[in-house]
Structure 1
Amino acid sequence: MKRKRGCIMANKFFFLILLIGLPLSIIGSLLHWPTVLMFVVYCITIVALAGYMGRATESLAIVSGPQIGGLLNATFGNAVELIISIFALKAGLVGVVLASLTGSVLGNLLLVAGLSFFVGGIKFKRQSFNVYDARHNSGLLMFSVIVAFVIPEVFSMTMNETKTFALSIGISIILILLYLAALMFRLVTHRGVYQHKNKETVEHEEPEWGKWKAVIILALATAAVAYVSEALVHTFEEVAETFGWTELFIGVIIVAIVGNAAEHASAIIFAFKDKMDIAVEIAIGSTLQIAMFVAPVLVIISLLFPVSMPLVFTLPELIAMASAVLLTTVIANDGETNWFEGATLLAAYFIMGIGFYLL
């Protein structure tokens, strides 16, 4: 009953934002309102739309079962950022796209996990989650970020652009195939091994929306996000000049937070309810989607645009992502957490944020 009341309140909140934000996005774009104002309006509107996409996906996952639910999460879990990144690639902002991928990894592993551990740890002195899932995900994180992202940078030092991009395409295909294999492993061949036998799975969940209502809402929200995202991308250059921000900072901090806002809020709420399995899955699972699915897909999609995007990050981005993976792995591998571990992750995020701002 409490969850239903919370969903109603959240829906009213998101609906109120959309009722104001979406018309303002259209009117402001047509009337050429100040760019900085429109940047704020677009960001708020996308956050509200992401909230509806998240709820629609969750409802469909409950209705359709775990296998299709996993596919839906893989497809729509990072749909907002994927859409923003596609329009950024179209505009030739390759640096912003790579930085936003970096920001998603840092945001999910340090900011989202950190806030979840910290907020949950304030209410509960000790929280636990599935240690086998944690170790499984840690291995994939080590591979996808440290191996698959570092290798192109190392080899690109002795390659020309053509060979570097060919290497990026090959790595991208391998990452996508391994990610699909990981879904198969978790949801089909080893589903029983990774099934959580606790209070979170014995509860009977009722979908917030029916199947077709969820599909319609998801389609409309995705179309609206595509429209607003294209307009948002065109504000980046002027906003960067106005505030003295670099494209790297916009990608790492702004785009990453806006694109994943709905997931961030959900993880923190689940942690506060002591549902740490779900909170950790959102934080780490979303990171794996970014590293093993979204980033490779963007590399392949960039073939359609004048400026292609190799899977080559800057040295600060690589070091930041590798550090985040190693720190999260050390903290999460025991299957337990507390508020101090959350504070440690948050401290790392803010240190890196300051570095990217001053870079």
Structure 2
Amino acid sequence: MANKIFFILAAVGVPVSVAGNLLHWPETIMFVIYCLTIIALASFMGRATESLAIVSGPRIGGLLNATFGNAVELIISIFALKAGLTGVVLASLTGSVLGNLLLVGGLSFFIGGLKYKRQFFSIHDARHNASLLIFAVVVAFVIPEIFSMEMKPAQTFHLSIGVSVILIVLYLAALFFKLVTHRGVYQHGEEEAEEHEEPEWSKGRALTVLAVATLAVAYVSEALVHTFETVAHSFGWTELFIGVIVVAIVGNAAEHASAIIMAYKNKLNVAVEIAVGSTLQVAMFVAPVLVIISLFFPQQMPLVFTVPELVAMVTSVFITIAVTTDGDSNWFEGLTLLAAYVIMGIGFYLL
């Protein structure tokens, strides 16, 4: 049923988005249409990556979901950078961290916990990810903010470039560690029992759907970015709220759905890998890449967040670590993460 709804939304939304963009229809209406269209296209990307992931195992499957889920947000952010909306981009990165850790992680634990009293996932992966989260968010994001107080803007941007290069190198090293040199070393029977699932689509069809959906998302995303200013004035929203809540949810719709479905199927290793792995990818790859890409635009984007953004991200990291390092979850832990997300959402709305 849900797949039919998303198919209809995509089939109607793409041509309407093209027509609305070319004919300059009211931007407030088009904002809603663009968002719904991107969410529908993201669902196809999620289904395609899930088909590819069935034969790849939970780690590579989670990485695929996180990568193509973040591709949507990366595309939106690049067009936002091109438009000079660096505040929206930084806010959307903040929203991705909060959304993946608290909203996606919380919903996964909550929905899965309603069906199963306890769910288990790899404690070794959880502890490994915890150290990377602390490095990526607490160290790499906080340091530029502190040092920027004593630096000129040009020096701050140079520091941001250096931090970005280090983050990208460390992220690639982390993937090499998990998928090559230490693949399977820490499992010890903690993986879910393998089920012989048949992929929904063949490999060729899944790759074709990914390519077409990504191109469509790129077009709709560029149009979406141009509606931000009008929507902000119409609804009284700030750029911060649009970035933290709206862009983050729309941009990460694919992995949101995939993680929740995996948790409901009691495949919590995949769900956690999507939620936490996506956060690490945003912090250690997407954000640094955007800093480097901003070199080619008139307005550069240093890796310097506002104090509320930093406090929210650091808090979400520590509460996630507190919940996940024991290797099991239940619905109440999920509800705790969701409550933290709602509190922060209210704060960003009123800010």
- Name the structure 1 match of 2:235: 243
Given residue 332 of structure 1, which amino acid in structure 2 is its aligned partner?
T
> Relative to structure 2, which stretch is displaced further, 344-353 or 116-125?
116-125
Structure-2 separation of matches of 1:344 and 1:71: 26
Q: Deviations over 1:294-313 (max 9, x none)?
A: 00000011111000100000
- Name the structure 1 match of 2:149: 157
Asked whether the 8 Å contact 1:21–1:42 carries over to 2, the reply is yes
Q: Give the structure-2-normalised TM-score.
A: 0.95
Structure-1 separation of matches of 2:268 and 2:245: 25
Structure-1 separation of matches of 2:241 and 2:108: 24
Q: 1:72 to 1:261 in 2, by over 3 A?
A: closer
- Name the structure 1 match of 2:116: 124
Q: Give the structure-1-normalised TM-score.
A: 0.93
- Name the structure 1 match of 2:314: 322
1:174 counterpart (166, 179, 182): 166
The question of 1:208 aligning with 2:200 is answered yes
Given residue 234 of structure 1, which amino acid in structure 2 is its aligned partner?
H
Structure-2 separation of matches of 1:121 and 1:62: 23
RMSD: 1.8
Given residue 221 of structure 1, which amino acid in structure 2 is its aligned partner?
A
Q: Deviations over 1:271-314 (max 9, x none)?
A: 22222111111111110110011000000111110001000000
Count the aligned residue pairs: 351
Local SS of the residue matching 2:192? helix
The question of 1:284 aligning with 2:276 is answered yes
Displacement of 1:69 in angstroms is: 5.9
- Name the structure 1 match of 2:332: 340
1:232 counterpart (212, 224, 247): 224
- Name the structure 2 match of 1:5: none
Q: Deviations over 1:113-147 (max 9, x none)?
A: 11111122222222211111111111100100000
Displacement of 1:337 in angstroms is: 1.3
Asked whether the 8 Å contact 1:70–1:187 carries over to 2, the reply is no
The question of 1:331 aligning with 2:342 is answered no
> Structure 2, unaligned stretches of length 5 or more?
none
Asked whether the 8 Å contact 2:62–2:270 carries over to 1, the reply is no
Structure-1 separation of matches of 2:67 and 2:321: 25
| Identical residues among aligned pairs (%) | 74
Structure-1 separation of matches of 2:324 and 2:232: 36
Given residue 155 of structure 2, which amino acid in structure 1 is its aligned partner?
K
Which ranges of 4 or more aligned residues in structure 1 deviate by more than 3 Å?
A: 60-75, 194-201
